[in-house]
Amino acid sequence: MRCELHSIGIPSRCSEPRRPAAAASLALALGVPTFLHPDLTAPRFAGAPDARFVPAPADGVLPEGFFSTTNLPTYVKIEGDWKMPREPRMDGVLMLAAGGELWVREMRRVRKGELVAVGAAEDGSEGILVHAQAFLGDTGERLIVANPRSRPREFPATTVPETE
């Protein structure tokens, strides 16, 4: 059986069509963690407002309070639906394109008038959710480490990150 792997090591397509669980079995055998989506039907997410988007004032200039993306799975509420952006990356901005498509772009590539997400909360209360427990599950214990020069980060409780 031949499988193709995506960059994070999860089999995306296997040559054996009669074994639909082959990719999942291989991922488990390799120790690849399962990605767990948050329950977006939970009252705190269902009742959350849509994310707010503001036009960029000039090329390469971001609106005050713009949301800087992380390398963690991010969901954005647009017209009542939670969506994940295309081309996610760290230190980018969430942009709402014509037709409702959600993208992450490098800050320097933003053009005047493009709609950029604004907000500070990552818990969904402003329509943007950064899902830090995607690979831990909702019951995974975690240690939150705050660095005054960056966002708080979460680690499994058994892992202690090195400090500066």
pLDDT in tens, the chain (164 residues): 454 444 444 444 444 444 435 555 665 667 666 777 889 999 999 999 999 999 999 999 999 999 999 989 999 999 999 999 999 999 999 999 988 899 999 999 999 999 999 999 999 999 999 998 876 644 444 444 445 455 544 444 444 455 55
Distance CA 60, CA 114 (A): 10
Neighbouring CB atoms inside 10 A of 94's CB total 26
- Give me the number of domains the chain comprises: 2
* Contact partners, residue 19, CB within 8 Å, separation at least 6: 1
Residues 126 and 49 placed together within one structural domain of the fold = yes
DSSP 107: G
My answer on whether 22 and 67 are in the same domain is: no
**Residue 126 is part of a domain; what is its CATH number?**
2.40.420.10
Please check whether residues 63 and 108 belong to one and the same domain: yes
In a domain, 37, yes or no: no
Q: Does residue 145 sit within a domain?
A: no
Q: Give the DSSP H/E element, type plus range, for residue 11.
A: strand 11-14
Q: For the full predicted model, state whether its pTM sits above 0.75.
A: no
